[in-house]
């Protein structure tokens, strides 16, 4: 030991000026960081609030519609021949206003009324039927009537008809059940989202039925059984890249493989589901591999050491522990698939489908495509439908994400 | 290094010729990739004695222990050569069913690793997958007797449905021992089972090891010289992947043949 170097330094003077300055600087940067974080959070919250506010402002009225009171005489002649269209036209013409005020589809209400109560035949009743879109929008105050007729988007005749109806007490507003139970229509007042919602449901059912098992099994194989070599490395890189591929590419792939090569029907939930499954698969594989990889190696060793086979180890111990993570990843992938539009447009799901889908191979549309189509429509009445459909889509997404949280907590508690 | 001629590399029958060894290992080499972790180790052990493996950190105690139930198979890049026999049957052949081997050769790990399942399920899992219980009542009996032998029954009998991970560290380790003996193995390998435990829990486990002697062939890796002296009748000292000395525990601790053994147990290095 050389005695030249002292073993201990001088004791630190914690009250020295330089140290106090350092301390103050540290506190200041900490405060600044917190402020910046808070600012970022506020900004994000502001954007969200703005988005929700505009959508709800525009969309809330989409769940209500205006109805016109029409006096209808159910003459046996019309009922027997099923000429409800003519019956509706004749009854509407008797209204004390000029021009069309009831919806083109209003006759359906008459047919349903007779079907529900056959005793109506021969009687005269006041029926509340859906108003035409322009009357509906006027009643909801969607037009700026101070503007000249040409630029406000509604004719003087319609304004006069609306005023006359309102004055006669033949106009009311009600909950628009048609919006929730109907399908696409060329008339905004008749358009509904049920067809699109059902299409989304069928499409997602196909997606999850394929992507979940395939993705989870691929992840198990890659993580637990596959040897580490250049091939598995290549597969891993490919999967990671696939997860980042723009969704429209998957649409092109679906078009080429499922429609042109396999000859599956266009616009069908089957093809949509398959295409979205391709897109969701890498997301599920990555999430599942991460979840499986995060299971502590101690549990694997323990199972192997009591004589469990590798398969038993995976299915009895690793998978149950990884399940919350796998489910979270899957549901996030599903939520993304639910909101996906571009690849579905390419495989023909933008077709106008005026009915609910009648099976996996029948033409259908899905919620986001319906929103896209409505937002593209020139008719003024579709503006509120677009926002109302967005509200429905967001609600479904919130539901799906809540489900993810509930499932995760459930399985975490069990694990 | 390899200049030393180990007296221990003759099978230790010189210690007790009358005893039939449960497991015999001859000329074991273990490689991790290109790196050799075990060099030419030969050792026997029997039910009659608890065998302790001692040696400085990184000398290969865990590695050689994992050879006896083929847990090295699960490590990517690990390669074992040599001959290991259980009751005279070679267990190193790739054709051997490791599932059955591991049912006969149980293992307890350094870190308690109960399954994140109920206490009952922790014990019942092994017997169930090996079909050792005919009925539910049978299984209940197996679980109870394993917990009793591990000295845990009184502490957990009212909370068998609780998760195994809610137990204390010492209880978890005894649960792991109970899990190992529930499949009624012939050999139990313990890799530093007490390293995470306090003296009271350690004493309980040492008592337990003493109780289990005779029924199971027990091998225990430990860094604690007193523990090796207390629980074992045979001790093997490893250094740098080689077995330097193997013999009666009392001899190793009082009168070691090799200078390096002496240095190690007197705390001069390691
Ligand atoms: N999975 C592995 N891959 C590569 N090398 C390893 C691996 N496991 C152990 N080794 C190496 O093999 C040698 C022996 O390790 P081992 O774990 O058997 O030592 P040990 O005696 O159990 O040590 P400790 O007392 O610290 O547990 C060490 O040099 C270690 O670095
Ligand atoms: Mg070790």
Query: Is residue A231 domain-shared with residue A265, that is, in the same domain?
Result: yes
State which residues form the domain around A245.
194-414
Query: Is residue A159 domain-shared with residue A236, that is, in the same domain?
Result: no
- C-alpha span between B86 and B22 (Å, rounded): 6
DSSP string covering B237-250: EEETTEEEEEEEHH
Report the 3 state secondary structure along chain A. CCCCCCCCCCCCCCCCHHHHHHHHHHHHHHHHHHHHHHHHHHHHHHHHHHHHHHHHHHHHHHHEEEEEEEEEECCHHHHHHCCHHHHHHHHHHCCCCCCCCECCCCHHHHHHHHHHCHHHCCCEEEEEEEECHHHHHHHCCCCCCCCCHHHHCCCHHHHHHHHHHHHCCCEEEEECHHHHHCCCCCCHHHCCCHHHHHHHHHHHHHHHHHHHHHHHHHHHHHHHHCCCCHHHHHHHHHHHHHHCCCHHHHHHHHHHHHHHHCCCCCCCHHHHHHHHHHHHHHHHHHHHHHHHHCCCHHHHHHHHHCCCCHHHHHHHHHHHHHHHHHHHHHHHHHHHHHCCCHHHHHCCCCCCCCCCCCCCCCCCCCHHHHHHHHHCCCCCCHHHHHHHHHHHHHHHHHHHHHHHHHHHHHHHHHC
Mean pLDDT of A89-113: 87
- The size of chain A, in residues, is 415
Query: Is residue A78 domain-shared with residue A117, that is, in the same domain?
Result: yes
Query: Is residue A371 domain-shared with residue A283, that is, in the same domain?
Result: yes
* Token reading at A94: 């008797």
Contact (CB<8Å) A305/B114: no
* Residues in B touching A321 (Cβ below 8 Å): 116
Please give the DSSP secondary-structure letter assigned to residue B118.
B
B27 φψ region: left (φ > 0), alpha (ψ -120 to 50), beta (else): left
> Residue holding tokens 């081997």?
B101
- Spatial neighbors of A55 by CB under 8 A, at least 6 apart, are A387, A390, A391, A394
List the single residue in A with minimal CA-CA distance to B184: A306
Chain A residues near any Cβ of chain B (below 8 Å): 228, 296, 298-309, 312, 316-317, 321, 415
Mean pLDDT of A53-71: 90
In a domain, A399, yes or no: yes
Q: Yes or no: say if A368 and A306 are a contact pair by the CB < 8 Å rule.
A: no
Q: Which residues line ligand 1 (CB under 6 A)?
A: B 32, 37, 55, 57-63, 75
Contact (CB<8Å) A307/B99: yes
Final residue belonging to a domain, choices A175, A210, A226:
A175
Query: Is residue A71 domain-shared with residue A166, that is, in the same domain?
Result: yes
- C-alpha span between A258 and A273 (Å, rounded): 11
Q: Residue A381: its pLDDT value, please?
A: 86
The CA-based diameter of chain B, rounded to the nearest angstrom, is 59
Contact (CB<8Å) B71/A415: no
Mean pLDDT of A79-88: 89
- C-alpha span between A346 and A145 (Å, rounded): 42
Total Cβ atoms within 10 A of residue A368: 22
Per-residue pLDDT of A311-354, as tens digits, reads 999 999 999 999 989 998 998 899 999 989 999 999 888 878 87
Total Cβ atoms within 10 A of residue A96: 10
Q: Yes or no: say if B71 and A301 are a contact pair by the CB < 8 Å rule.
A: yes
* Token reading at A350: 């933008």
Q: Which of A273, A127, A261 is nearest to A205 (CA)?
A: A273
Mean pLDDT of A72-98: 88
Q: What's the CATH code of the domain at A288?
A: 1.10.3720.10
* Residues in B touching A294 (Cβ below 8 Å): none
* Residues in B touching A309 (Cβ below 8 Å): 99
Q: Residue A415: its pLDDT value, please?
A: 54
In a domain, A181, yes or no: no
List the single residue in A with minimal CA-CA distance to B117: A415
Adjacency order of strands within the sheet including A171-175:
A124-130, A64-73, A171-175
In a domain, A3, yes or no: no
Total Cβ atoms within 10 A of residue A56: 15
Contact (CB<8Å) A306/B125: yes
Q: Which residue's alpha carbon is nearest to atom 22 within ligand 1? A: B62
In a domain, A250, yes or no: yes
- C-alpha span between A59 and A266 (Å, rounded): 31
pTM of the model: 0.82
- C-alpha span between A82 and A94 (Å, rounded): 20
3-class SS at B53? strand
Per-residue pLDDT of A275-294, as tens digits, reads 999 999 999 999 999 999 99
Query: Is residue A114 domain-shared with residue A202, that is, in the same domain?
Result: no
In a domain, A358, yes or no: yes
pLDDT, one tens digit for every residue, chain B (270 residues): 333 334 444 444 444 556 788 999 999 999 999 999 999 999 999 999 999 999 999 999 999 999 999 999 888 889 999 999 999 899 998 888 899 999 999 999 989 999 999 999 999 999 999 998 889 999 999 999 999 988 889 999 999 999 999 998 889 999 999 999 999 999 999 999 888 778 888 888 899 899 888 889 999 999 999 999 999 999 999 999 999 999 999 999 998 889 899 999 888 765
Question: A154: pLDDT confidence band, cut at 50, 70 and 90?
Answer: confident
Domains recognised in chain B with CATH numbers: 49-57+98-265 (3.40.50.300)
Query: Is residue A80 domain-shared with residue A217, that is, in the same domain?
Result: no
The domain total for chain A is 2
Ligand nearest to the CA of residue B64, numbered in listed order:
1
Give B260 Cα–ligand 2 centroid separation in angstroms.
Answer: 20
Contact (CB<8Å) A306/B106: yes
Q: Which of B96, B119, B129, B163 to mutate to test the interface with A (most CBs of A within 10 A)?
A: B129
For residue A272, pLDDT over 90 is answered with yes
Q: Which of A220, A410, A300 is nearest to B115 (CA)?
A: A300
Query: Is residue A224 domain-shared with residue A298, that is, in the same domain?
Result: yes
* Token reading at A387: 């926002």
In a domain, A251, yes or no: yes
Mean pLDDT of A15-20: 86
Picking from A133-142, A293-302, A305-314, which range would have the lowest pLDDT averaged per residue? A133-142
3-class SS at B49? coil
Q: Residue B269: its pLDDT value, please?
A: 64
Q: What does residue B227 show for φ and ψ, rounded to 5 degrees? A: -65, -45
Task: Flag whether residue B103 sits within 8 Å of chain A, measured between CB atoms.
Answer: yes
Contact (CB<8Å) B69/A305: yes
Per-residue pLDDT of A374-413, as tens digits, reads 998 888 888 889 999 999 999 989 998 898 888 888 877 6
Q: Give the minimum alpha-carbon distance from B96 to chain A in angstroms, rounded to a whole number.
A: 13
Find the angle CA(A248)-CA(A250)-CA(A254) to the nearest 5 degrees.
Answer: 115
Contact (CB<8Å) B183/A415: no
3-class SS at B175? helix
Q: Residue B14: its pLDDT value, please?
A: 44
- The size of chain B, in residues, is 270
In a domain, A166, yes or no: yes
Task: Flag whether residue B33 sits within 8 Å of chain A, measured between CB atoms.
Answer: no
> Residue holding tokens 């519609």?
A65
Per-residue pLDDT of A30-52, as tens digits, reads 999 999 999 999 999 999 999 99
Torsional sign, CA A236, A239, A243, A248: positive
Adjacency order of strands within the sheet including B242-248:
B105-108, B187-191, B217-221, B50-54, B234-239, B242-248
User: Buried b / exposed e across A264-274, counting CB within 10 Å, b at 16+?
Assistant: bbebbbbbbbb
Stretch (H or E) spanning B207: helix B199-212
Query: Is residue A123 domain-shared with residue A251, that is, in the same domain?
Result: no
List the single residue in B with minimal CA-CA distance to A295: B116
* Residues in B touching A228 (Cβ below 8 Å): 76
Q: Residue B162: its pLDDT value, please?
A: 92
In a domain, A74, yes or no: yes
Query: Is residue A163 domain-shared with residue A241, that is, in the same domain?
Result: no
Task: Flag whether residue B99 sits within 8 Å of chain A, measured between CB atoms.
Answer: yes
Query: Is residue A295 domain-shared with residue A393, that is, in the same domain?
Result: yes
Final residue belonging to a domain, choices A143, A175, A207:
A175
> Residue holding tokens 């009895």?
A316
- Spatial neighbors of A366 by CB under 8 A, at least 6 apart, are A196, A199, A200, A203, A269, A272, A344, A349
For residue A4, pLDDT over 90 is answered with no
Q: Which of B62, B72, B69 is nearest to B91 (CA)?
A: B69
Give B111 Cα–ligand 2 centroid separation in angstroms.
Answer: 11
Total Cβ atoms within 10 A of residue B9: 17
Q: Residue B7: its pLDDT value, please?
A: 44
Mean pLDDT of A55-63: 89
* Residues in A touching B109 (Cβ below 8 Å): 298, 301-302, 305
Q: Residue A414: its pLDDT value, please?
A: 62
Q: How far apart are the first and last CA of chain A?
A: 58
Q: Yes or no: say if A359 and A340 are a contact pair by the CB < 8 Å rule.
A: no
Find the angle CA(B57)-CA(B61)-CA(B65) to the nearest 5 degrees.
Answer: 155
Query: Is residue A218 domain-shared with residue A115, that is, in the same domain?
Result: no
- Window 145-174 of B, Cβ < 8 Å to A: none
Q: Yes or no: say if B87 and B185 are a contact pair by the CB < 8 Å rule.
A: no
Q: How far is CA A236 from CA A115, B77, B255, in A?
A: 61, 20, 57
For residue A124, pLDDT over 60 is answered with yes
């Amino acid at each position: 030991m050389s005695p030249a170097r002292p073993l201990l330094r001088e004791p630190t003077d914690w009250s020295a000026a330089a140290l106090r300055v350092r301390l103050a600087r540290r506190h200041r940067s900490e405060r600044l960081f917190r402020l910046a974080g808070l600012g970022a959070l506020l900004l994000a919250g502001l954007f969200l609030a703005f988005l929700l506010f505009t959508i709800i402002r525009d969309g809330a009225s989409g769940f209500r519609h205006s109805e016109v009171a029409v006096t209808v005489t159910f003459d046996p002649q019309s009922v027997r021949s099923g000429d409800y269209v003519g019956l509706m036209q004749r009854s509407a013409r008797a209204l004390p206003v000029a021009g069309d005020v009831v919806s083109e589809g209003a006759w359906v209400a008459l047919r349903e009324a007779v079907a529900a109560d056959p005793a109506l035949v021969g009687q005269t009743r006041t029926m509340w039927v859906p108003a035409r879109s322009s009357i509906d929008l006027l009643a909801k105050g969607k037009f700026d009537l101070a503007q000249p007729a040409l630029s406000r988007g509604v004719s003087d005749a319609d304004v006069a008809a609306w005023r006359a109806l309102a004055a006669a007490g033949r106009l009311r507003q009600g909950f628009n059940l048609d919006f929730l139970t109907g399908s696409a229509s060329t008339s905004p007042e008749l358009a509904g989202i049920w067809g699109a919602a059902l299409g989304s449901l069928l499409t997602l059912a196909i997606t999850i039925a394929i992507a979940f098992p395939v993705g989870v099994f691929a992840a198990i194989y890659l993580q637990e059984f596959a040897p580490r070599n250049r091939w598995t490395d290549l597969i891993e890189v490919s999967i990671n890249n696939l997860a980042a591929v723009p969704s429209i590419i998957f649409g092109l792939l679906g078009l080429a493989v499922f429609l042109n090569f396999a000859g599956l029907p266009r616009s069908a939930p089957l093809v949509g589901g398959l295409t979205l499954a391709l897109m969701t698969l890498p997301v599920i594989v990555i999430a599942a591999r991460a979840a499986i990889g995060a299971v502590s190696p101690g549990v694997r060793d323990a199972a192997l050491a009591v004589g469990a086979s590798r398969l038993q180890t995976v299915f009895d111990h690793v998978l149950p522990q990884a399940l919350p993570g796998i489910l979270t990843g899957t549901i996030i992938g599903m939520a993304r698939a639910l909101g996906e539009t571009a690849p579905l447009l390419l495989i023909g799901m933008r077709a106008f489908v005026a009915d609910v889908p009648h099976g996996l191979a029948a033409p259908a549309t899905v919620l986001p495509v319906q929103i896209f189509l409505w937002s593209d429509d020139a008719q003024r009445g579709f503006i509120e439908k677009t926002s109302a459909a967005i509200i429905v889509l967001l609600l479904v997404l919130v539901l799906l994400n809540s489900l993810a949280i509930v499932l995760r907590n459930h399985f975490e508690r069990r694990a | 290094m390899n200049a030393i001629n180990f007296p221990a590399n003759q099978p230790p029958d010189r210690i007790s010729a009358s005893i039939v060894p449960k497991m015999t290992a001859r000329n074991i080499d273990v490689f991790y990739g290109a790196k050799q972790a075990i060099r030419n180790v030969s050792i026997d052990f029997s039910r009659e004695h608890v065998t302790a493996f001692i040696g400085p950190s990184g000398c290969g105690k865990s590695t050689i222990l994992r050879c006896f139930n083929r847990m090295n198979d699960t490590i990517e890049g690990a390669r074992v050569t040599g001959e290991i026999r259980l009751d005279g049957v070679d267990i190193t052949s790739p054709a051997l069913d490791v599932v059955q081997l591991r049912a006969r050769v149980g293992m307890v790990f350094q870190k308690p690793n109960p399954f994140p399942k109920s206490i009952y399920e922790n014990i019942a899992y092994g017997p169930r997958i090996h079909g050792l219980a005919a009925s539910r009542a049978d299984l209940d009996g197996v679980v109870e007797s394993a917990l009793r032998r591990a000295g845990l029954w009184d502490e957990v009998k009212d909370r068998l449905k609780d998760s195994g991970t809610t137990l204390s560290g010492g209880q978890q380790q005894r649960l792991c021992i109970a899990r190992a003996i529930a499949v009624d193995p012939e050999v139990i390998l313990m890799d530093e089972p007490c390293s995470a435990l306090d003296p009271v829990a350690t004493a309980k486990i040492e008592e337990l090891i003493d109780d289990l002697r005779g029924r199971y062939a027990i091998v225990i890796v430990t860094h604690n010289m007193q523990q090796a002296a207390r629980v074992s009748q045979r001790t093997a000292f490893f250094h740098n992947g080689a077995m330097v000395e193997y013999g009666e525990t009392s001899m190793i601790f009082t009168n070691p043949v090799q200078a390096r053994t002496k240095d190690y147990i007197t705390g001069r290095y390691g």
